[in-house]
Amino acid sequence: LTSPGMPSQRSSRKKPGTGELALYLLALRAACQDMDTPERKRMVTQLKLLLNKEMKQIGHKEKGHPITNYYQYSLGILALCVHKKRIDPEVIRKLLSAEHNGRFYHHQILSVGKISSAQMFSICLNQQEFSSGMAALRQSLEQGDFQNNLIQSQLLPALYCKSYVDVANSSIPDPSLQKPSGIDPTRNISIRLEARKASQSLYQHVLVVPWGSTLLDVLEAAMPLFWWCGGGENRYETQKTLSGPMLTGVMGETAQVGEHKYWRIVRHPNSSLDQGIAEYTPRKGDHIILKMTSW
């Protein structure tokens, strides 16, 4: 028998990647599950193999990129650390090198998701606190910026300098966290949405949407206008990720195979969003820019 939620080795389902497997192992540890079963030992071994593949993809002089990304890479290290498994020093060195060389930044904006996983890993190894990172995490949580339960589950342990083992013993929710208000169909707001590829403007229009709409709702509202501006291309495309849907295409424009490009989402003039498109709730008068950007 297989564990609930995990595919059998004989299943036709796609095998879990580094981040998904790491999260599953962390959840098992938080629930104080027996990790000495043959199946769960195989999961730990599989995670070690995945991390080694990620490490080789990064390369000898850190010129490359992980197969997934540094967020999932650090989650994998954290999971092995929490399970008290020996980690190849080179795997750890590449994560520390990535942090030192600013690989956790996108256009000078530090990803709080990567802060949390990397910090929890550091806490596990060194039992140190990172006060500036903690302040940033607490501010984001208190503002209700993260509605995705998966993201909150990553941030809260880091905020309180706890590991997933400690989460299993905590049953009192943080009363300071704000819950999203939801859509109010009786109130509307105006938002300017713009799409750019290099110096070319693909789309720019002011949209009226209900108060509380997410950016994903805004994209849905823009679809008829995408068709009018894009010569019949009236769609946007997303990819399912561990943190929710990620924007991958606008009006037929997507990154080609082998291209290190993505759709960067910013608030005018150049403030990157911390939340995903299904979480971010634009404010009245926001100017949201979708940029095809190299990484």
- Per the annotation, does 280 bind a ligand? no
262 is in an annotated binding site: no
Q: What is the DSSP string of 141-164?
A: HHTT----HHHHHHHHHHHTT--H
Q: Is 293 annotated as a binding residue?
A: no
SS3 of 113, please?
Answer: helix
According to the annotation, is 154 in a ligand binding site?
yes
- Going by their DSSP bridges, the two strands 261-267 and 236-241 should be labelled as unpaired
Binding residue per annotation — 295? yes
The structure tokens listed for 43 are: 């999961």
* Nearest CA among 28, 31, 22 for reference residue 51: 22
| 263 secondary structure, DSSP code | E
Distances (CA, A) of 82 to 30, 48, 240, 291: 10, 13, 27, 38
Q: Does 68 belong to an annotated binding site?
A: yes
Look at residues 113, 124, 182, 117 and name the one whose alpha carbon lies nearest to residue 151: 113
Question: 164 among the known binding-site residues?
Answer: no
Residue 71 among known ligand-binding residues: yes
Strand order of the β-sheet with 236-241 is: 236-241, 244-250, 253-254
**Is 151 in a helix, a strand, or coil?**
helix
Binding-site residue ranges for cyanocob(III)alamin: 68-72, 154, 273, 295
Binding-site residue ranges: 68-72, 154, 273, 295
